[in-house]
Structure formats: C-alpha cells, structure tokens
Structure 1
Amino acid sequence: MKKIGFLSFGHWTPSPQSQARSAADVLLQSIDLAVAAEELGADGAYFRVHHFARQLASPFPLLAAVGARTSRIEIGTAVIDMRYENPLYMIEDAGAADLIARGRLQLGISRGSPEQVIDGWRYFGYQPGEGETDADMGRRHAEIFLDMLRGQGFAQPNPRPMFPNPPGLLRLEPLSEGLRERIWWGAGSNATAVWAAKLGMNLQSSTLKNDETGEAFHVQQAAQIRAYRAAWKEAGHTREPRVSVSRSIFALVDDRDRAYFGNGQEEDQIGFIDERTRAIFGRGYAAEPDRLIEQLKTDEAIAEADTLLLTVPNQLGVDYNAHVIETILTQIAPALGWR
C-alpha cells in the first residue's frame, strides 16, 4: 500500500494556451485541485517553492488555505529552500498552518537547488558564515528549525510584559505538537539522505539526484533510500520513517492524454546542476494503461517508497489534472498493489 499525492510547481504564464495565467490563478487553482484530489481519494497535496520565478513561492498562506478547505488530505511542500528561510519565523508560520489543517502538514525542506537569480538568498538578507557554503547555511537553518520545533523555552521573558507569561523561558508560538515528526528532507545525494536520517527527518527524493554510480536513475534512488533506512535504524529512532519519491506518470486513456504526452521522454537524462555536480534526471512515464503498469513494475525506487508524488502539469488546469490523478488512482494503482 502506498500513499499517493500530487506535486505542483505552480507555474503561470500569460500565454493563452495556459489555464494559469497569473499568480492568483495558480493559488486559487491549487486550492481547488487539492479539494478535488481529496474527493477522488488521493492522500496528499504538495507544492514546490521557487523564488524570483513565476511559480509558487511563499507556501504558508497556500497551505493554510488548503487546510481550511479540506479535512483529510495531507498538505505539504517539496521542497522549501532553507537558504532563504528565517527558521524562527518559519516555526510560527508552520505552527499556524498546521493548526488550521488540524495536524495534516507534511513539510519538505532542503538546502535548495539552482535558482532564477545568482545567490538569491542574499537578497533575503542571508549569507554563509565564514568557511560555510550556501548549502551548509541551508542545512544550518534546517537544524535550527528542527531544534525549535521541540518546543523548549529559550527566550528570557520581560519582567514587565504586556501580557502574563507562563513560567520559565519562552518558546515560539503557536507550536503545533507532532509537527517535528512530519518534517522531510529533500536529499540530492546519498550522503544528505544519511544526514537526514540521523536528524530524524523523513526522506523526499525527487526526479533529480546526483549521479553517483552511473546506474539507471531508479536504481540509484533505490540505493539512496536503502542507505537512508540503514542510517535511520543505526540512529536508534523509535518511529518508522516515511519516504517519498516523485514521478511524472500519465496514463494515455483519451485523445487529450495522447496529444499532451504521447511522445514522452522514456530515458533518463544526464546534466549538470552546477559547475561541479553531475546529476541524473529520472525518466517520465506515459503509456497506455497496460504498458504503463508493466513499466512501473520495474521501478525499484517506487517499490522502496511508501509515498508517491505525481508531478502535475498545473498549467493544463484543475479539471485535466483531476483526470490525471483519478486515472492513476483507479486504473494504475490497484493493478500494482498500491491501493
């Protein structure tokens, strides 16, 4: 059995071919798609965060709105770039959104990826410390965030406060109990997956990772998941971790599907995400249902994961994306034993 959700990057463009032509379109349609996905029986509504781009950015207003409109579906991110984040203010935002959603928030965070501008985090007022890289800074912000989520008091109270304080040092409010166990790390390498396991974070692995062995993407990703689970066990955590993978999967069941995705990419791609890092981009899946089922049976990483996030082409609109999700839930997942 697997949890199955969708992942939206929230693109918009003024093109007449797009159903999402403005930021308002994307935000409102994201809420509507989450509502539709819950009605269809999906398990999660996840959103990507990109700054300086015509895409979803600040996630917490959207997460809170989805939480207010839904009652069951998990609501999450994949991922928030921690290089840009004030981890203390993020505690307050996340706590408020999780309370509105009644404990359904699943926050994916990461050190980030190449962005639209050079060193965009500098414009947000952050810079690496001496001897740090920007990746180190992102991980440091993440560690502060995780520590503060424990809810321990750390701030000295004013002896003459405006309002009465509880005894002792003060913590950030509102704190949502249990959120600490619902933080995920988006790992691009085996080493960062192991690091996430040691800190007690769940694992998100996307359609992109460092090419560490030259093997097929799904084989490398499955090895990453196994390394993560081994490190989790070694760390002695008492709960079971969760692991998600993302995939572009389209069942070709009507003329719209064939027109949009009939000539899909069926091979992994190799590229460089910066001057030093060779990366492998996982293939997409688009085929008639019977063939698609056979293809997905061979994906080792999907087999290893407990959660599958379907990347959706949000610019094609809510109705079409609901159709994509419904087809996977009803025609593909049962045949694979996922539901």
Structure 2
Amino acid sequence: MKKIGFLSFGHWSDHPAYNTRTAGDTLLQSIDLAVAAEELGLDGAYFRVHHFARQLGSPFPLLSAIGAKTSKIEIGTGVIDMRYENPLYMVEDAGAADLISGGRLQLGIGRGSPEQVINGWRYFGYEPAEGETNADMGRRKALEFLDKLEGAGFAQPNPYPMFSNPPGLLRLEPHSEGLRDRIWWGAGSNATAVWAAEQGMYLQSSTLKFDESGEPFHIQQAKQIRLYKAAWKKAVHEREPRVSVSRSIFALVSEQDRYYFGQQVKGADSFGYIEADKRAVFGRSYAAEPDQLIGELALDEAIQEADTLLLTIPNTLGVDYNVHVLSAILEHIAPALGWR
C-alpha cells in the first residue's frame, strides 16, 4: 500500500494553450484541484515553491485555504527553500496553517536548488555567515525552524507587557502540537538523506539527484532511500520513517493523453549539471498504455522502497484534465501494482 498524492509546480503564463494565464488562476485552480483530489480518494496535495518565477512562491496562504476547504487530504510542499526563510516567522505561518487544516500539514523543506536569479536569497535580506556556504545557511535555518517548532519557551518576557503573559519564557504562537514530526527534507544526495534521518525528518526524493555512481536514476534513488532508512533506525527515533518519491506518470487512455504525452513513451534518464560542478541524474517520465506502464513501473526500485508517491501534474492544462490524469492512475495502474 502506498499513499498517492499530486505535486504541482504551479506554473502560469499568458499562453494560448494554458488554462492558468495568471497567478490568480493558478492559486484558485490549485485549491479546486486539492478539493477534487480529496473527493477522488487521493492522499496528498503538494506544491513546489520557487521565487522570482511565475510559479507558486508563498505557500502558506494557499495551504491554509486548502486546509479550510478540505478535511482529510494531506497538504504539503516539495520543497520550501530555507535559504529564503526567516525560521521564526515560518514557525508562526506553519503553525497557523496546520491548525486551520486540523493537523494535516506535511512540510517539505530543503537547502534549495539553483533559482531564477543569482543568489536570490540576498534580495530577501539573508547572507551566509562567515565560513558558511549558502547550502550551510539553508541547513542552519532548517535546524532553527525544527527547534522552534518544538514549542519550548525561549524569549524573555517584557515585565510590563500590553497583555498578561504565562509564566516563564515565551514561545512562538500559534503552536501546533505534532507539526515538528511532520517535516520532510528534500535530499539531493546520499549524505543529506542520512543527515535528514539523523534530524528526525522524513525524506522527499525528487525526480533528480546528484549522480553518485553513474547508475540509472531509480537504482541510485533506491540506494539513497535504503541509506536513509538505515540511518533512521540507527538514530532510534520513536516514529516510523516516511519516504516520498516524485514521478511524472501518464496512463494513455484517451486521444487527448496520446496527443499531450505520446511522444514520451520511450522516455529515458538523462544526465547533466544543475550546478556548475555537480553532475546530476534526471529520472525519466513514464507515459504508455496501461499494460505497458504497469510493467515499466514494476521495475522502478525507488518506487518500491517509498511509502508515498507524488505524481507531478501538468497544472497548466486545468483542473478537469488533471483530475482525469489522476483518476487514470488510480483506476488503471495503482491496483495492478498493489499500491491500492
């Protein structure tokens, strides 16, 4: 059994083929799609976060709105770039969104990937400390975020406050009990997957990772997941670990599907560079008739290792078509592979 959710990149553009011409289109359709996904029986609605791009950049208003209009589906991100974040302000935003949703937030965070602008976090007022890389800064902020989510008091109260305080040091409010245990780390390497396990974060592994062996993507990703699980066991956390992988999967069951994705039938991994000196492997897309698709997905070792599968969706094609895409996976693929 697997949890199955969708992952939206939240694109919009004034393009004649897009159903998301504006930011408002994308935001409102994201809410509608999450509501429809819950009605379908999907387990999760997740959203990418990118700054300086025509994509979703401020997740908490969206997550709160979805939380208010749904009742069961997990709501999350994949991932929030911690280099851009004020960890304390983020604790307040996340706590509020989690309380609105009734404790359904599953926040994916990470140190970030190359962005639309050079060192974009600097425009947000952040700089690495002396001797730090920007990746170090992202991990440091992540640890502060985790620490403050615990809910312990740390701030000295004013002896003459406007409103009376509880005794002792003050914590950030609103505090959402249990949210600390629902934070995921987007890991691009084996080492950061192990680090995430040591910190008690769940693992999000995307459709790309740093190439560490030259092997096919799904094999490298499966090895990363096994290293994560071993590190989690060694750390002796009280919770069971969770792991999600992302995939672009399209069951070709209509002429419209074949028109949009038929050219991807012979998909393959690719290798390239996401940073000047770091070679990466990019996982293939899956698009085929259901019987062929089932056979191909059965060989994907990383999907087998994960408990959660996030289906990347073409959000620009509108809510109705994406409901069709997700329904086809639930109807034709998931039962045959034992996911449902």
Q: Structure 1 length normalisation: TM-score?
A: 1.00
> In 2, distance between residues paired with 1:331 and 1:182?
30
Identity %: 76
1:210 aligns with 2:210: yes
> In 2, distance between residues paired with 1:89 and 1:238?
28
Q: Which residue of 2 aligns with 1:122?
A: 122
Give the superposition deviation at 1:200: 0.1
Q: Which residue of 1 aligns with 2:150?
A: 150
1:49 aligns with 2:55: no
Give the superposition deviation at 1:138: 0.3
> In 2, distance between residues paired with 1:302 and 1:163?
52
In structure 2, the residue corresponding to 1:36 is in which secondary structure?
Answer: helix
Q: Which residue of 1 aligns with 2:89?
A: 89
Cα displacement string for residues 300-338 of structure 1 (whole angstroms, at most 9, x for unaligned residues): 000000000000000000000000001101110000000
Q: Report the AA paired with residue 294 of structure 1.
A: G
Give the superposition deviation at 1:16: 1.2
Q: Which residue of 1 aligns with 2:102?
A: 102
Number of aligned positions between the proteins: 339
Q: Which residue of 1 aligns with 2:284?
A: 283
Give the superposition deviation at 1:290: 0.3
> In 2, distance between residues paired with 1:238 and 1:174?
25
1:314 aligns with 2:311: no
Q: Which residue of 2 aligns with 1:295?
A: 296
1:269 aligns with 2:270: yes
In structure 1, the residue corresponding to 2:79 is in which secondary structure?
Answer: strand
Give the superposition deviation at 1:99: 0.2
> In 1, distance between residues paired with 2:321 and 2:120?
34
Unpaired segments ≥5 residues, structure 2: none
1:181-220 equivalent positions in 2, closer than 5 A:
181-220=181-220
Q: Which residue of 2 aligns with 1:24?
A: 24
Give the superposition deviation at 1:238: 1.3
Give the superposition deviation at 1:211: 0.3
> In 1, distance between residues paired with 2:293 and 2:210?
26
> In 1, distance between residues paired with 2:303 and 2:276?
30
Give the superposition deviation at 1:231: 0.4
Give the superposition deviation at 1:62: 0.1
Give the superposition deviation at 1:266: 1.1
> In 2, distance between residues paired with 1:330 and 1:275?
42
Q: Which residue of 2 aligns with 1:176?
A: 176
In structure 2, the residue corresponding to 1:106 is in which secondary structure?
Answer: strand
Give the superposition deviation at 1:210: 0.3
Give the superposition deviation at 1:177: 0.3
Q: Report the AA paired with residue 230 of structure 1.
A: A
Unpaired segments ≥5 residues, structure 1: none
Q: Which residue of 1 aligns with 2:250?
A: 250
Q: Report the AA paired with residue 98 of structure 1.
A: D
In structure 2, the residue corresponding to 1:337 is in which secondary structure?
Answer: coil
In structure 2, the residue corresponding to 1:273 is in which secondary structure?
Answer: strand
